[in-house]
Structure 1
Amino acid sequence: MAVPATVAAVPASLYVGDLHSEVVDHHLFEAFAEFKTMDSVRVCRDRVTMKSLCYGYVNFKSQQDAIRAMKLKNNSYLNGKVIRVMWSHPDPSARKSGRGNVFVKNLAGSIDNAGLHDLFQKYGNILSSKVVMSGDGKSKGYGFVQFESEESANNAIEKLNGSTVGDKQIYVGKFVRKGDRILPGYDAKYTNLYIKNLDSDITEALLQEKFSSFGKIISLVISKDDNGLSKGFAFVNYENPDDARKAMEAMNGLKFGSKNLYVARAQKKAEREQILHRQFEEKRKEQILKYQASNLYVKNIDDDVTDKELRDLFSSCGTITSVKVMRDDKGISKGFGFVCFSNPEEANKAVRSFNGCMFHRKPLYIAIAQRKMDRKTQLNLHYAPQQTGLDGSSTPVIPGGFPPYFYHSVASQMFQSGLLYQPLGLRSGWRANDSVPPTRSFQQSQVPNFTRHHRQNRSRMNGNVNSLGKAHSGVYIPQYYQAVEYLAV
């Protein structure tokens, strides 16, 4: 495989994809250990769950070793799965553009990654090839080939599209991202039109007369309810697709009766929902980006505060585009809301001016609003250091579900000074049947200064646990004793 000219100047870093979920860094290191100039490896993980993302990177000091590693390790097995090895592209725009990417479908089940690579390699330099597999390792019949240049991709499409490979006629075309794909049949020739905003007195005969001027109509129907009354919409099916298009262009928006008609290509429900969903998501993303730093989250709002009162409070800081006090189904305030300004400067001014101020007998908490996922990630990062012990190890789980802060504030100090009992399973001289823990001597200076209330509680709890042990036929129940020991501190 030749070194792509576009990556010759970048560091010798390889992308390794399709990794088994159980592959960790040292597995990847061992797989590439034969290449002496290997510098580092990394398996990428989710920042929150720490689960493997099933891809990683291997960095080399020598580009020649990287080329050799790509030749030898691409389509090889690691932990029972075929891995893909290709040049790493640090520029995300290059990866997301889809330039030189080809989509192939209707592949025979016998064609794997290597077979797909062999099929396309004569048309140009291939950066990556992949046949999509199911969970049981069988081909799903389609895949992707990433060429170095757009010219090579176009050449492969021209020569291979419609050709027969392994008794199957394959389809080869340009790869289109899911969000940009045109739905099946969207631009295909159509004859069926959907018409809405019909007056209740519009009849099929009147609709037939109006729409027949554009061409021959095969069928026409007005949708009606169980009582035979019009639902306000209809379908007209033409014989010729060109007639249908002319009717749509001429009649859409035209006043018919007392309303303006809406005329469009008839769509299946699933197709229409998908288009509307995509339009909604695009609009929502635009709104989020537009007001990302201008929207305020306001908490600790008194129950009787209205939207108008909240708007009046913040109006001195700038132009407010929207105000909303969040309420439940019964209309009762949830105690928080949102105030959106026209620009981030006004929002920051409002935070400085009103955060902590008294409003209707309550101090307000004000901050820049965040998406739920962003806020969750930030909290996880903030509290991550608290989940680590003094020696850097993970916080041990305390029996009985006691909170971690109890362990950090008291129990960790006692462990360090040797005041707490050892884990019961490790004690020497312990007897299971009707026994009590062995006594331990402490120097006077080591004994914690318990109050009388703590001593009484500890004696009472020890007595209860001993009686529990006797009640269960003399069988020792470790979780009860462990709970007592931690609580006694």
Structure 2
Amino acid sequence: MATTAETAAAPVVKDDASNRPTTASLYVGELDPSVTEAVLFEIFNIIGPVDSIRVCRDAVTRRSLGYAYVNYHNIADGEKALETLNYTNLKGKSIRIMWSQRDPSLRKSGEGNIFIKNLDASIDDKALFDTFSAFGKILSCKIATENGVSKGYGFVHFEHSDDAENAIKNVNGMLLNNKKVYVGHHIPKKERDAKIEELRNQYTNIYIKNIDENITDDQLRAAFEKFGKITSLVIQKDDEGKSKGFGFINYETHDEAKKAVDEMNDTELGSKKIYVSRAQKKNEREEELKKQYEKIREEKLNKYQGVNLYIKNLDESVTDEVLREKFSPFGTITSAKVMCDEKNENKSRGFGFVCFSSPDEATKAVAEMNGSNLNGKPIYVALAQRKDVRKAQLEVQMNQRLQIRNMQANQMMNNNGMYNNQQIFYGGMPHMNPGRNMYYQQGMIRPHQWNGQEGYNGQHQYRRNQRNGPRRGKYNNNNNNNQNQQAAPAQEQAAAPAPATETETQVQQPTAGVSGITEAELSKLSPEERRNKLGEALFTAISKINQNYVGKITGMLLEMKTNEIITLLDNPDVLKQKVEEAVKALDEFQQSQKNAQ
């Protein structure tokens, strides 16, 4: 980005070792709501081994809050990720990465934080970062946007306050993309609001509406000049010169303007009563109207809290009168309404509302009428709820059901550590646990949760009677997929020796199967190399079966034990079955999320 500001003398960037991060924890912001831990793992694991990832979610709805934390094993990988992945486009949004600041005092102090306005619409986060990074180390950089479009201002937070001072000194008033920008210290919102409120209380400009169209500027001045010296006055007119019915008057002092508002509001001028108040900007007026609307709405909801009933499964023959008659024995009804479809000849939509005068009456009606028969159909009666409250409750219930399914899936595991012939993957979402030690239950990815020694352990049962067969060394997966395993010749079974001890079995290394990977080969690798090798093999195999969830399912399967992964890789039919089960469960979960919305 060619800018005039770049010609300014930039100071030498400090390299203060004492200010280096003490943990390899990164904050990742500006995330699309659909971004999951698995998606982030695929991106950040390219830099180096990831210790954990957590997408922060709403405690009730479990929806993403738009930011996450990525933890590396070492600071060097974190620094590399910060350099190479910052402002990467992910699902249409430019992600913002910075070191996680566990000490809130640095964020809240505002020290080193500057504000830039009058920015050209083409300047994005990265361009702003590149421009100001010449003045010192940047902790955070952000352009304010609305629906993906720049609002013309942004913020840059420097590590050192003197770097911020230099940036203000050198860039303020300079041209960025041919636009003169303002750069100054960031003022916290609380201080800005207090200052704005103070200025509002010292207004001199007043607004008058509902002005008679025959009233002239001179007549309006004559009516208002008795309150003080008027510096300007105007009645707004259309293109034809006719009055729009409103205007503005500016006084010399605040006291004069306040007196005019107090005495002239709701008085007659000409043939109409006028409205007089402090002049406001459009956005300020809209904000006030919004607050007033919310207040009225809240009062209305509180008024009917505990007295309004929701009734569903109504027969088409049920009308407002029938509903009122049926519920009137329980108390005084203030309103009864069956909801109808105006676009479909006003036919009943099968539900309605009954409002009582007191909560006791409503509670009694629920107890007596819920499940009762009305015109041949059993009806459901409950206290009416706001849409957002009901939606949140449904999402909680859905998550609870999914957790129960997770528990059931875990119970399906048999003693040798393999899954029975059941649907095993309910995963891919925050509250879904495909198997033991899976990261989805708590929304965390733990790529290196290895159970002591890799490979065989005492829990697994091995097919010792087929040590010389083509599939020797593999354990029985109890999955009824023996058609994929060539049976040992009868004479070989007859001559089979007595079962070997566990130690003897481990000494005899299995031959490479379809995947060409053996535990003997993997045991020579480091945990990171072992995981990468298995991950590449799984990714390749799963991509041939399903392209949509390949990354997600790969991450899930990598949490299994090494020998279990090799068994899946060596049994394409078994792998295909598990992938199809996972895809089905993921599709069902996504559909349930859509239905809940």
TM-score (normalizing by structure 1): 0.51
> Structure 1 residues 162 and 347, CA, compared in 2 at 3 Å: closer, same or farther?
farther
Q: Does 1:170 align with 2:186?
A: no
Provide the aligned C-alpha RMSD in A: 6.1
Task: Name the structure 1 match of 2:381.
Answer: 366
Q: 5+ unaligned residues in a row in structure 1: which ranges?
A: 395-415, 418-489
What displacement does 1:213 show?
0.7
Task: Name the structure 2 match of 1:312.
Answer: 328
Q: Does 1:354 align with 2:369?
A: yes
What displacement does 1:205 show?
7.0
Of 68, 85, 94, the match for 1:56 = 68
Task: Name the structure 2 match of 1:391.
Answer: 423
Distance (whole Å) between structure 2 residues aligned to residue 322 and residue 274 of structure 1: 33
Q: Does 1:193 align with 2:207?
A: yes
Q: 5+ unaligned residues in a row in structure 2: which ranges?
A: 1-15, 410-420, 427-479, 482-597
Distance (whole Å) between structure 2 residues aligned to residue 382 and residue 171 of structure 1: 49
Task: Name the structure 2 match of 1:250.
Answer: 263
Distance (whole Å) between structure 1 residues aligned to residue 170 and residue 202 of structure 2: 20
Task: Name the structure 1 match of 2:155.
Answer: 144
Superimposed CA distance per residue, residues 2-57 of structure 1 (whole angstroms, 9 cap, x where no aligned partner):
899xx99xx975322346888814324414525xxx4322457999x999876432
Q: Which has the higher contact order (CA 8 A, sep 6+)?
A: 2
Amino acid at match of 2:224: F
Amino acid at match of 2:155: F
Task: Name the structure 1 match of 2:437.
Answer: none
Task: Name the structure 1 match of 2:81.
Answer: 73
Of 18, 22, 28, the match for 1:16 = 28
User: Could you tell me whether the CA contact under 8 Å between 2:327 and 2:365 is conserved in 1?
Assistant: no
Distance (whole Å) between structure 2 residues aligned to residue 312 and residue 188 of structure 1: 57
User: Could you tell me whether the CA contact under 8 Å between 1:162 and 1:170 is conserved in 2?
Assistant: no
> Structure 1 residues 219 and 199, CA, compared in 2 at 3 Å: closer, same or farther?
closer
Q: Does 1:210 align with 2:223?
A: yes
Aligned pair count reads 364
User: Could you tell me whether the CA contact under 8 Å between 1:132 and 1:141 is conserved in 2?
Assistant: yes
User: Could you tell me whether the CA contact under 8 Å between 2:209 and 2:275 is conserved in 1?
Assistant: yes
> Structure 1 residues 188 and 307, CA, compared in 2 at 3 Å: closer, same or farther?
farther
Distance (whole Å) between structure 1 residues aligned to residue 204 and residue 347 of structure 2: 51
User: Could you tell me whether the CA contact under 8 Å between 1:218 and 1:238 is conserved in 2?
Assistant: yes
Distance (whole Å) between structure 2 residues aligned to residue 218 and residue 80 of structure 1: 53
User: Could you tell me whether the CA contact under 8 Å between 2:99 and 2:139 is conserved in 1?
Assistant: yes
Superimposed CA distance per residue, residues 437-456 of structure 1 (whole angstroms, 9 cap, x where no aligned partner):
xxxxxxxxxxxxxxxxxxxx
Superimposed CA distance per residue, residues 340-393 of structure 1 (whole angstroms, 9 cap, x where no aligned partner):
67998886665333312345665431234444456557667749869x995346
User: Could you tell me whether the CA contact under 8 Å between 2:206 and 2:276 is conserved in 1?
Assistant: no
Distance (whole Å) between structure 2 residues aligned to residue 204 and residue 376 of structure 1: 55
Distance (whole Å) between structure 1 residues aligned to residue 206 and residue 392 of structure 2: 49
User: Could you tell me whether the CA contact under 8 Å between 2:310 and 2:381 is conserved in 1?
Assistant: yes
What displacement does 1:336 show?
2.6
User: Could you tell me whether the CA contact under 8 Å between 1:74 and 1:86 is conserved in 2?
Assistant: yes
Matches within 5 A, 1:28-39: 28-34=43-49, 38-39=50-51
Amino acid at match of 2:247: F
Of 338, 348, 352, the match for 2:353 = 338
Amino acid at match of 1:39: D
Superimposed CA distance per residue, residues 45-93 of structure 1 (whole angstroms, 9 cap, x where no aligned partner):
999x999876432235x7xx3x5555443243279547533455799xx
Of 128, 135, 139, the match for 1:112 = 128
Matches within 5 A, 1:81-480: 81=89, 83-86=95-98, 88=100, 100=110, 103-106=115-118, 109=123, 111-113=127-129, 115-116=131-132, 119=135, 128-131=140-143, 142-145=153-156, 160=168, 164=172, 167=175, 168-172=180-184, 173-174=186-187, 176=189, 191-196=205-210, 207-214=220-227, 215-216=229-230, 218-219=232-233, 221=235, 233-238=245-250, 240=252, 242=254, 243-253=256-266, 261-266=274-279, 272-281=285-294, 283-284=296-297, 296-301=309-314, 302-305=318-321, 309=325, 312=328, 314-315=330-331, 325-327=338-340, 329=342, 334-339=349-354, 350-359=365-374, 363-372=378-387, 375=390, 382=398, 391-392=423-424
Distance (whole Å) between structure 1 residues aligned to residue 57 and residue 337 of structure 2: 38
Distance (whole Å) between structure 2 residues aligned to residue 33 and residue 337 of structure 1: 58
What displacement does 1:263 show?
0.7
> Structure 1 residues 279 and 140, CA, compared in 2 at 3 Å: closer, same or farther?
closer
> Structure 1 residues 77 and 217, CA, compared in 2 at 3 Å: closer, same or farther?
closer
Distance (whole Å) between structure 2 residues aligned to residue 313 and residue 203 of structure 1: 64
User: Could you tell me whether the CA contact under 8 Å between 2:234 and 2:248 is conserved in 1?
Assistant: yes
What displacement does 1:144 show?
2.5
Task: Name the structure 1 match of 2:497.
Answer: none
Residue 112 of structure 1 aligns to a residue in which SS?
helix
Distance (whole Å) between structure 2 residues aligned to residue 286 and residue 113 of structure 1: 46
> Structure 1 residues 19 and 303, CA, compared in 2 at 3 Å: closer, same or farther?
closer
Deviates most, 211-220 or 343-352: 343-352
> Structure 1 residues 218 and 29, CA, compared in 2 at 3 Å: closer, same or farther?
closer
User: Could you tell me whether the CA contact under 8 Å between 1:45 and 1:53 is conserved in 2?
Assistant: yes
> Structure 1 residues 252 and 355, CA, compared in 2 at 3 Å: closer, same or farther?
same
User: Could you tell me whether the CA contact under 8 Å between 1:102 and 1:153 is conserved in 2?
Assistant: no
User: Could you tell me whether the CA contact under 8 Å between 2:117 and 2:152 is conserved in 1?
Assistant: yes
> Structure 1 residues 170 and 338, CA, compared in 2 at 3 Å: closer, same or farther?
same
Distance (whole Å) between structure 1 residues aligned to residue 79 and residue 303 of structure 2: 46
Residue 174 of structure 1 aligns to a residue in which SS?
coil
Superimposed CA distance per residue, residues 381-414 of structure 1 (whole angstroms, 9 cap, x where no aligned partner):
749869x9953469xxxxxxxxxxxxxxxxxxxx
Distance (whole Å) between structure 1 residues aligned to residue 372 and residue 162 of structure 2: 64
User: Could you tell me whether the CA contact under 8 Å between 1:296 and 1:366 is conserved in 2?
Assistant: yes
> Structure 1 residues 69 and 299, CA, compared in 2 at 3 Å: closer, same or farther?
same
Distance (whole Å) between structure 1 residues aligned to residue 310 and residue 66 of structure 2: 37
Distance (whole Å) between structure 2 residues aligned to residue 306 and residue 134 of structure 1: 50
Amino acid at match of 1:364: I
Distance (whole Å) between structure 2 residues aligned to residue 247 and residue 211 of structure 1: 7
What displacement does 1:104 show?
2.9
Amino acid at match of 1:15: Y
Distance (whole Å) between structure 1 residues aligned to residue 302 and residue 169 of structure 2: 41
What displacement does 1:248 show?
1.8
What displacement does 1:195 show?
3.2
> Structure 1 residues 270 and 169, CA, compared in 2 at 3 Å: closer, same or farther?
closer
Of 37, 41, 46, the match for 1:26 = 41
User: Could you tell me whether the CA contact under 8 Å between 1:44 and 1:52 is conserved in 2?
Assistant: yes
